[in-house]
C-alpha cells in the first residue's frame, strides 16, 4: 500500500530489524498526537507537516502491516539529521 503523500517514505517491514525500546508500553492515540506535535513544534518534519495526516497514515499502516513494528521518525530539514525516533505501534504479542 502506498502513502498518499509525497513526503512520506514507507519501507516494507518484511525482513527488517528495528531498534531497541520494545520494552516500552504501547503509546495511546493521545500520546502519539502529543509526540507528533512536539516534532512539529521543534521544526522537525515527521515525514509529514501536519500531525493529523501522520496519525491517519499510522492507522493505514497498522491495517496494511498488522504484524510489523511501525516507527515514526522526526527529521530536522535544516540540519538534515534525524532528531527523534519512536515505535508508534507494536504488533500483538510483542
**What pLDDT does 59 receive?**
92
**What pLDDT does 77 receive?**
78
**What pLDDT does 19 receive?**
56
CB 74 within 8 A of CB 83: yes
CA distance 69 to 37: 21
Tens place of pLDDT per residue across the chain (94 aa): 554 555 556 656 555 555 555 556 777 889 888 888 888 899 887 764 457 778 888 899 999 999 988 888 888 878 888 888 888 999 988 7
Cell representation of residue 49: 507537516
Q: Rounded to the nearest 5°, which phi and psi values hold at 72? A: -105, 130
**What pLDDT does 25 receive?**
72
CA dihedral 22, 84, 3, 13 (to 10 degrees): -30
pTM reported for the whole predicted model = 0.51
Tell me: domain 29-89, CATH 3.30.190.10, correct?
yes
Q: Which of 37, 47, 50 is nearest to 74 (CA)?
A: 47
Q: How open is the CA angle 29-70-76, to the nearest 5 degrees?
A: 85
Domain ranges in the chain are 29-89
Amino acid at each position: 500500500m502506498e502513502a498518499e503523500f509525497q513526503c512520506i517514505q514507507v519501507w516494507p517491514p518484511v525482513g527488517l530489524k528495528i531498534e531497541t525500546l520494545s520494552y516500552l508500553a504501547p503509546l495511546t492515540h493521545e500520546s502519539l498526537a502529543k509526540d507528533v506535535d512536539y516534532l512539529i513544534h521543534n521544526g522537525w518534519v515527521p515525514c509529514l507537516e501536519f500531525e493529523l495526516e501522520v496519525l491517519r497514515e499510522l492507522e493505514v499502516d497498522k491495517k496494511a502491516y498488522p504484524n510489523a513494528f511501525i516507527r515514526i521518525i522526526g527529521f530536522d530539514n535544516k540540519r538534515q539529521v534525524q532528531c527523534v525516533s519512536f515505535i508508534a505501534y507494536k504488533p500483538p504479542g510483542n
